[in-house]
């Protein structure tokens, strides 16, 4: 398990700055103004800090970015980063500044000097998130990032604010670890065990086994996993920290621990990436962990469908017809469109069991969403404008890219089947939209619902502002913000 680095807070001791080892960062405003600590460091370095912020390069620097002085004279540190951050910077910029500092630190002991009022908690969150490295499967020497000390005017207040930061970082790291694990480690059984362990944080955990799902009539979900040795499961995580009796928000995640495509086998090239096809379930798990750690005053239930999609003599075939828990029949045209079959039954179960105030489902569902939105935004589909706008606002606040996509009855004709109530695919045109239209059939009238297609943002091939390449933990911050703003009293 990857744990966030520890961060300590203290008042600046200007007399000891010169002897501080490791690496150091200080902030300056976009117009080059230095706070008292930066001015002291400027004197120690014989004006090097002032020269850096007066140079033409400073003006071209983006907000939250840094210039670095290597082995500055007058200091013991082997590097001093000067970060551009205004006092009224928004949260996203402060986090970017923290991430810039983390990249500069490179795992070495770090001292950050922020004498002003720049969003210290957000800076700390960006710093922590960018230090993530998944090394659980390596046997050689591992990176062990040192902790950081943040020197600020009101350390006690900063420390209190950082308690929430710690909860969010734990949630994001949990998601990233799950998405990063190989499929031979993170089987459906292991995944369920890791989620069951969250009961130690106060979550109520329930696991539905295949026999339970058979009794409930979950033929859509069970059909996906019938070719695998790993048993299909549904894990339910309840956090009831709000008013007793209030309907919860339901978060539903696709948890395909590995997706070969089944009988509709995927090409070999790139199939190794399908360990991340449980990204929706990973995000739900991270959100639930964060809510429990920060003792959220809201009622939220997380439900994840855990399956493995494998080719086998017992595997589901193209042309099979399965019956969902709702009772609708589905002609399986392509066994590689399996995530929607999993979600269909979990969505219906969530509504039958909890009568939620709203539902958000997350899934690495379609390659089509990557063609449309790339790796910058998740696709947002919804039957409720108010609910969708609340999520989009939360995502923007937290700096997680999201873009509203259309739904419409005209797309339903693409899902018509000659032998069943519907097909599971509608062809290549509008592939992400027809997938969402399919899911909408399993949402009851009057239930606010959002479908998030996160295929392009759950795991990426290059570094992002807040994470190294690989699992991003996208959605944990945005969904936590949605809960804060809309469901906590």
Tell me the C-alpha distance between 201 and 383, whole Å: 33
- Note the pTM of the prediction, 2 decimals: 0.96
The tokens for 436 are 């969402």
- DSSP three-state, residue 111: strand
Cα 394 from chain centre: 13
Q: What is the pLDDT of residue 164?
A: 86
Residue appearing with tokens 């096809």: 277
- Position 236 pLDDT exceeds 70: yes
* 278-288: pLDDT as tens digits: 999 999 999 99
pLDDT interval class at 140 (50, 70, 90): confident
Task: Give the pLDDT band (50/70/90) at residue 272.
Answer: very high
Please state, rounded to an integer, the average pLDDT across all residues of the chain: 95
Q: Is the pLDDT of residue 265 over 60?
A: yes
CA 306 to CA 339: how far, in whole Å? 10
Q: Are the C-beta atoms of 404 and 426 separated by less than 8 Å?
A: no
Across residues 393-398, what is the average pLDDT? 96
Whether 425 has a pLDDT exceeding 90, the answer reads: yes
pLDDT in tens, 465-482: 899 999 999 999 999 999
Sequence-distant (≥ 6) Cβ neighbours of residue 284 within 8 angstroms: 237, 251, 252, 253, 302, 303, 304, 362
CA 457 to chain centre: 9
Query: Cα 28–34–36 angle (5° rounding)?
Result: 125
The H or E element that residue 353 is part of is helix 339-354
Where in the sequence numbering do the catalytic residues fall? 266, 340
Flag whether pLDDT at 109 surpasses 70.
Answer: yes
State residue 433's pLDDT score. Answer: 98
Helix (H) and strand (E) counts in the chain: 15, 19
Mean pLDDT (whole number) for 356-379: 98
In this prediction, what percent of the chain has a pLDDT beyond 90? Answer: 88
Looking at residue 266, the DSSP 8-state letter turns out to be: P
pLDDT tens-digit series, residues 441-451? 999 999 999 99
Number of CB atoms found within 10 A of residue 247's CB? 14
Delineate the domains of the chain, giving CATH numbers in brackets. Answer: 7-155 (3.40.220.10), 171-486 (3.40.630.10)
Give the confidence band of 118 by pLDDT, cuts at 50, 70, 90. Answer: low
Q: Which two tokens stand for residue 392?
A: 């989009």
Can you read off the two tokens belonging to residue 369? 């969403």
Instruction: Let me know: does 280 contact 364? Beta carbons within 8 Å.
Output: yes
* pLDDT score recorded for residue 161: 85
In this structure, are strands 402-404 and 378-382 parallel, antiparallel, or unpaired? parallel
CA distance 280 to 163: 26
Percent of the chain with pLDDT over 70: 99
Contacts of 409 (CB under 8 A, 6+ apart): none
Summarize pLDDT for 149-197 with one digit per residue, the tens: 999 988 998 888 888 889 999 999 999 999 999 999 999 999 999 999 9
Q: Which two tokens stand for residue 197?
A: 């362990």
23 band by pLDDT with thresholds 50, 70 and 90: very high
Four-CA torsion 5, 8, 12, 15, nearest 10 degrees: -80
Query: Is pLDDT above 80 for 143?
Result: no
**Among candidates 29, 130, 148, which has minimal Cα distance to 89?**
29
**Nearest residue to 227 via CA among 261, 183, 193:** 261
Residue 13: pLDDT band by 50, 70, 90 thresholds? confident
* Contact yes or no for 475/362 (Cβ under 8 A): yes
């Amino acid at each position: 398990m990857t744990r966030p680095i520890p961060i300590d807070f203290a008042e600046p001791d200007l007399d000891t700055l010169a002897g501080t080892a490791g690496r150091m960062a200080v902030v300056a405003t976009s117009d080059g103004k230095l706070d008292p600590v930066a001015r002291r460091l400027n004197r120690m370095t014989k004006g090097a800090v002032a020269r850096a912020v007066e140079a033409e390069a400073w003006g071209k620097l983006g907000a939250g970015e840094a210039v670095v002085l290597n082995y500055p004279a007058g200091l013991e540190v082997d590097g001093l980063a000067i970060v551009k951050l205004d006092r009224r910077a928004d949260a996203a910029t402060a986090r970017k500044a923290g991430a810039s500092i983390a990249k500069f630190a490179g795992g070495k002991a770090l001292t950050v000097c922020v004498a002003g009022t720049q969003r210290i908690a957000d800076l700390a969150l960006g710093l922590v998130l960018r230090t993530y490295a998944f090394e659980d499967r390596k046997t050689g020497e591992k990176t062990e990032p040192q902790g950081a000390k943040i020197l600020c005017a009101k350390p006690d207040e900063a420390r209190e604010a950082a308690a929430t930061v710690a909860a969010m970082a734990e949630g994001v790291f949990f998601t990233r670890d799950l998405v990063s694990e190989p499929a031979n480690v993170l089987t459906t059984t292991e995944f369920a065990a890791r989620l069951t362990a969250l009961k130690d944080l106060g979550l109520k955990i329930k696991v539905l086994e295949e026999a339970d799902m058979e009794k409930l009539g979950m033929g859509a979900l069970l059909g996906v996993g019938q070719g695998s040795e790993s048993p299909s499961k549904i894990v339910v995580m309840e956090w009831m920290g709000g008013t007793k009796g209030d309907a919860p928000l339901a978060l539903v995640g696709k948890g395909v621990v590995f997706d070969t495509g089944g009988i509709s086998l995927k090409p070999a090239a790139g199939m190794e990436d399908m360990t991340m096809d449980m990204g929706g379930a990973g995000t739900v798990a991270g959100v639930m962990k964060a809510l429990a750690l920060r003792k959220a005053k809201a009622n939220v239930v997380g439900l994840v469908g855990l399956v493995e999609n494998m080719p086998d003599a017992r595997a589901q075939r193209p042309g099979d017809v399965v019956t969902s828990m709702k009772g609708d029949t589905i002609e399986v045209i392509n066994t590689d469109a399996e995530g929607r079959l999993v979600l269909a039954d979990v969505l219906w179960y969530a509504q039958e069991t909890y009568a939620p105030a709203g539902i958000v489902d997350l899934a690495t569902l379609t390659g089509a969403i990557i063609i449309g939105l790339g790796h910058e935004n998740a696709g947002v589909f919804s039957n409720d404008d108010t609910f969708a706008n609340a999520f989009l606002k939360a995502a923007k606040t937290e700096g997680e890219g999201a873009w509203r996509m259309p739904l419409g009855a005209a797309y339903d004709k693409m899902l018509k089947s000659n032998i069943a109530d519907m097909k599971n695919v509608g062809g290549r045109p509008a592939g992400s939209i027809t997938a969402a239209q399919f899911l909408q059939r399993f949402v009851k009238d009057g239930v606010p619902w959002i479908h998030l297609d996160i295929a392009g943002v759950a795991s990426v091939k290059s570094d992002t502002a807040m994470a190294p390449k690989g699992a991003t933990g996208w959605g944990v911050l945005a969904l936590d913000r949605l809960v804060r703003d809309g469901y906590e009293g």
